[in-house]
Amino acid sequence: MPFIERAPLRTMRASATAVAIVLGVAACNHDITTPLPPGVQPIGEDGTTPPDARDGDPYPEDMHLEGRSRDDLTIAVGNGFVHGDLATVWKAFSTPEVVADRGADELSFRRDTEPAYQVSFVVHNVVHDVITVSWDVTWREIASKGTREAPEEVRVRWQKTEGTGFIDTYEGSVGLFPVAPNVTRVELVQRIEAHGQTVDETLSGSRSLYDRVVAAVHKTPAP
């Protein structure tokens, strides 16, 4: 199983550390299981608009992100474009090393975990700080129109399914749609409920995911 060391980050790490100090390790550091419901249905949030035309390009390579909150849930909703054909953009989204959250000190992957889906994998995250916490995120992906080899529309769904109770909700969905030759539109929703998590941090994580996908499509170093 592949193993990657990551520099410590930001959102999930900060949340885990803060809650450990404030609430106490023994009371809160327990694992919970939250199965991902069947299918790859998009998360039910109202969408947002894509970026406006820029420098004569009706599809600028950028993503418009909007932050929201509801009770303790932090939400990022995005709509944007990647300058790559649908199959290439999907390849980036189907690569665990590209889409895994950068908030962990350690990442490892299990591929082809759910044969019912054309792409599936589990990302195992570990953070070492005041205490060590870990969690699993399950990813599923299908060509909702077309085929795996020649997709016409793609749906992606992910969710934290096992691990630390410091993170109550960590889930997201993506829709990929061709809009012009070598241009793919990306609709994204990400929702996180974790102790200390802010809307700005959820927006930053969603921006980072988009930027890593763009880098993978263009075969440039990841930001």
Q: How far is the C-alpha of 118 from the C-alpha of 116, rounded, in Å?
A: 7
Per-residue pLDDT, averaged over 19-38, amounts to 67
Per-residue pLDDT at 132 exceeds 70: yes
Per-residue pLDDT at 152 exceeds 90: yes
Between 134 and 129, the more confident residue is 134
E-state strands within the chain:
3-5, 31-33, 63-70, 73-82, 106-111, 119-128, 132-146, 151-164, 167-180, 183-194
Per-residue pLDDT at 45 exceeds 70: yes
pTM for the predicted model, two decimal places: 0.88
Q: How far is the C-alpha of 220 from the C-alpha of 223, rounded, in Å?
A: 9
Poorest-pLDDT segment among 6-15, 114-123, 124-133, 137-146: 6-15
pLDDT digit string, tens, across residues 68-118: 999 999 999 999 999 999 999 999 999 999 999 888 999 999 999 999 999
Per-residue pLDDT, averaged over 15-20, amounts to 50
Query: What pLDDT does residue 22 have?
Result: 40
Taking all residues of the chain, what is their mean pLDDT, rounded to a whole number? 89
Confirm if 189 and 206 have CB atoms less than 8 A apart: no
Domains of the chain: residue spans and CATH? 3-35+60-218 (3.30.530.20)
How many other C-beta atoms are found inside a 10 Å radius of the C-beta of residue 174?
Answer: 26
Per-residue pLDDT at 36 exceeds 70: yes
Beta-carbon contacts of residue 198 (< 8 Å; ≥ 6 apart): 74
Confirm if 66 and 77 have CB atoms less than 8 A apart: yes
Confirm if 48 and 78 have CB atoms less than 8 A apart: yes
4 pLDDT band, cuts 50/70/90, is very low
CA 140 to chain CA mean position, Å: 11
Per-residue pLDDT at 173 exceeds 90: yes
Between 145 and 25, the more confident residue is 145
Per-residue pLDDT, averaged over 138-146, amounts to 98
Confirm if 68 and 56 have CB atoms less than 8 A apart: no
Q: How far is the C-alpha of 50 from the C-alpha of 95, rounded, in Å?
A: 24
Query: What pLDDT does residue 56 have?
Result: 95
